[in-house]
Structure 1
Amino acid sequence: MNKKEMVMDKVRIGIIGSGFMGRTNAETVTRYLEGAELVAVAGGTRAPQLAGEYHVAHEATVPQLLERPDIDAVLISTPHSEHAWQTIHAAEHGKHILLDKPMATTIEDCDRILDAVHKAGVNLMIMFGQRFRICNREARRLIQEGAIGRVTMIQEHILNCGGLASLPSWQSLPENSGTLLAHAVHNIDRIRWFSGQEVSSVAAQVQKDAASGNEVSTMAVFGLSGGSMAMLWESWAIPQPGFPRTASASRVVGETGILDVDAYGELRLGRDGKWSVIARQDAIDWKGKGMLDPVRLEAYRLQHQEFIDSIRNGRAPTVTGQDGRASVEAALAAYRSATEGVTVWLPMGGKSK
């Protein structure tokens, strides 16, 4: 944070990206945040419509939005291959940045982003929204309080039905680097967050969709810096009806207890031979209220408010660019492991292919 920055009365926001997450960002800023206002939208064919619906300005290009002096910060939710140049340009224009995951598609681009925000003295926060869902938050609290002792093992699931056709088509483009980087970086971040350890090694295998040749499933085993270990199973090829409690789930083993974490359901603590329900998230009403259901948006409210508060109070956000880089590096290490048939040790340095 630039020391010359004064506490802001209100942070003026520009949104870059007008798809599913662009609308999520617009709804969150306009309806749920304190100390923030939406000023303009740019990026994507739906940007004019989104700006009109929220009664704010539309800019024809991202550079035009970044040149506006009445914007203090930007929320970037665009195809992954766009993240690096958009974030770097935003920093060069003195804008604080809330950047969707993954941070970038290469380690080199992550480092370029980190250099740019450091030179500009602006805040960079990565959208790891799973940290703000109640079951994950409470699991982290229990771990920090010692409720299960030292974490020794973590099992992560992100299992979905519908195949790659259920995802936006741009996510299957080679330049956007696949579903592990697009989605399972949430799980990698959760491994780091729950364990308090860094990924030190990765051994992985990847299965590809027969029709498109694109990655559709990954299994990976992670060695952690403190001696613990973790496993990730990520797939978009699970037949209906799918497995229960696996859309975003963790099983955490400690020396004295265990946690069963369903980010979209219940958090259960196993200790002294019995289970206890600690927290619960209500089901998201996808058929009725849809993507703007307040239950879904609660995590975004907390996440985005943390970003706004960090700017207004002149401090670093709780989720940093280093967190974003760490998850990207672990995901890229998994890809390399699968391609070369070897265990990959971290750090990989600047080699991301």
Structure 2
Amino acid sequence: MRASGCSVQVDDCDTKQAVNAGRLESMRHRLSSGIACWPAMLAVSTRRRTTVKPLRIAVLGAGLIGRRHIQTILAMPAAAELVAVADPVADPAGLDVGAAAWFGDAQELLDRVKPEAVIIATPNALHLQQGQWCCERGIHFLMEKPVTVTLDEAATLVQAVRQSGVKTLVGHHRRYLGVVQQARQWLADGRLGRLVVASVVWATRKPDAYFQAAWRTQPGGGPLLINAIHEIDMLRHLCGDIHAVSGVKSHANRGFAVEDTAAAVFEFDNGCLGTLACTDAGLSPWTIEQGSGENPAFGYTGQSAYRLIGTEGSLELPVLRAWSPRVAGEAAWDKPIVGNPLLPKVQDPYQVQLSHFQRLVRLDEPPVVSVLDGARTLAATLAVAESSQTQARCVPRAF
């Protein structure tokens, strides 16, 4: 069996003779760690060689995130073929879309090109309608986050997906980061003991030009739904489901109708507490993009934005430094602790995500982030806003 970031081949004539136990264990480790294709849930055929065909894929929306997806597709021809792009505003001049057709209307693209799959990277308010279009046409889709703007819309989309049977992902791409997979394994192995507290900071100053797109100054276009939702999804991914939220938000720095700063406390089902501070109006070295280098638009700082604290140790992300007692079993404030840097697995999460999307469609691989899972992250995120308005603890809507 061979796996590379953009295609998977299975080649076994006689598993017992061709692959010994050590090689199988090595292969499983590489696949589960995300160095190859993650998660790997492939049925190994002992009779035939299977090559996973590239997806005929279109991108709706050619803004910042849409362009990132376009670049990823063009860099991975074995995973996907870019057949069309739709954007009513963006000028295709200077944007490399390969041989893809360009449309000003997304619905026209879907009807004329009939792609197998679509990446929806349009403004948040369009997500429900365009997701429904895909469901009606039997087109698989990867929806950028947030899955929708409101929870009622999310419920409508979840139902449409169930009825249509299309395969979906939500673009919480940080779940594919190697350091995140490593942290999940540390937690699963119990190396931190019982998880007590998780904290995250996402703080950067966006340039004025960023807000020339008017939707980014209106409700639904602020850092809570654009940026903090990623951090909340990461907290859910690492710590488990959230059953209560207390939040505050402010627009005092930019004066827009939408917030520029938010903070929250999360109560997890397992008893862990989490904190979040998020702003797009303050300069700092503390974002996961700066700490990991996963987004070249952010300057690299090598600083950790996440801290996971357990009864037996702690872990920083994305730098991946583990703190533990100098002497095993001596976990107390009057005993020395040491910080040990771990070797992070470096990979482009967008490439890993696209490869997973290919296998989701072709091989029926379970989704890393389904529309239902995306709706649950949205519910926890909107609970921050609701708590801020009511000045009371909020229970996220169940999905």
TM class by smaller structure:
0.7 to 0.9
- 5 Å-filtered alignment, 1:210-289, equals 211-239=255-283, 242-244=284-286, 249-262=305-318, 266-272=319-325, 273-280=337-344
Once residues 207 and 71 of structure 1 are traced to their aligned partners in structure 2, the CA distance between those partners, rounded to angstroms, is: 42
Aligned with 1:67: secondary structure? helix
Match of 1:286 in 2: none
Once residues 117 and 338 of structure 2 are traced to their aligned partners in structure 1, the CA distance between those partners, rounded to angstroms, is: 47
Whether contact under 8 Å (2:84, 2:113) holds in the other structure is no
Instruction: List per-residue Cα deviations over 1:94-114 (Å, max 9, x = no partner).
Output: 111111111111001111111
Once residues 28 and 120 of structure 1 are traced to their aligned partners in structure 2, the CA distance between those partners, rounded to angstroms, is: 28
TM-superposed deviation, 1:170: 3.6
Aligned with 1:104: secondary structure? coil
TM-superposed deviation, 1:44: 3.4
Identity level (%)? 24
Instruction: List per-residue Cα deviations over 1:168-187 (Å, max 9, x = no partner).
Output: 63443435342101111111
Match of 2:233 in 1: 189
Match of 1:120 in 2: 164
The structure with more radius of gyration: 2
Q: Aligned residue pairs: how many?
A: 324
Q: Which amino acid aligns with 1:134?
A: G
Distance 1:176 1:44, change over 3 A: farther
Once residues 60 and 205 of structure 1 are traced to their aligned partners in structure 2, the CA distance between those partners, rounded to angstroms, is: 39
Q: Which amino acid aligns with 1:89?
A: W
Once residues 280 and 210 of structure 1 are traced to their aligned partners in structure 2, the CA distance between those partners, rounded to angstroms, is: 36
Check if 1:67 corresponds to 2:123: no
Once residues 392 and 207 of structure 2 are traced to their aligned partners in structure 1, the CA distance between those partners, rounded to angstroms, is: 27
- 5 Å-filtered alignment, 1:74-85, equals 74-85=118-129
Q: TM-score, normalised by structure 2?
A: 0.75
TM-superposed deviation, 1:146: 2.0
Distance 1:138 1:52, change over 3 A: closer
Whether contact under 8 Å (1:160, 1:235) holds in the other structure is yes
TM-superposed deviation, 1:20: 1.4
Whether contact under 8 Å (2:314, 2:323) holds in the other structure is yes
Q: 136, 141, 147: which is aligned to 1:103?
A: 147
Match of 1:45 in 2: 89
Distance 1:44 1:50, change over 3 A: farther
Match of 1:301 in 2: 351
Q: Which shifted more, 270-279 or 95-104?
A: 270-279
Q: Which amino acid aligns with 2:383?
A: A
**Relative contact order, CA 8 A, sep 6+: which one is greater?**
1
Match of 2:100 in 1: 56
Aligned with 1:327: secondary structure? helix
Whether contact under 8 Å (1:149, 1:256) holds in the other structure is yes
Once residues 67 and 206 of structure 2 are traced to their aligned partners in structure 1, the CA distance between those partners, rounded to angstroms, is: 23
**Pairwise CA RMSD:** 2.4
Match of 2:17 in 1: none
Aligned with 2:147: secondary structure? coil
Structure 1 unaligned blocks of 5 or more: 1-6, 283-294
Once residues 193 and 9 of structure 1 are traced to their aligned partners in structure 2, the CA distance between those partners, rounded to angstroms, is: 30
Distance 1:161 1:69, change over 3 A: closer
Once residues 214 and 372 of structure 2 are traced to their aligned partners in structure 1, the CA distance between those partners, rounded to angstroms, is: 26
Whether contact under 8 Å (2:218, 2:257) holds in the other structure is no
Aligned with 2:84: secondary structure? strand
Aligned with 1:271: secondary structure? strand
Distance 1:245 1:42, change over 3 A: closer
Match of 2:188 in 1: 144
Whether contact under 8 Å (2:193, 2:311) holds in the other structure is yes
Aligned with 2:342: secondary structure? strand
Q: Which amino acid aligns with 1:311?
A: V
Aligned with 1:344: secondary structure? coil
Q: Which amino acid aligns with 2:360?
A: S
Q: TM-score, normalised by structure 1?
A: 0.84
Once residues 173 and 213 of structure 1 are traced to their aligned partners in structure 2, the CA distance between those partners, rounded to angstroms, is: 6
Whether contact under 8 Å (1:189, 1:323) holds in the other structure is no
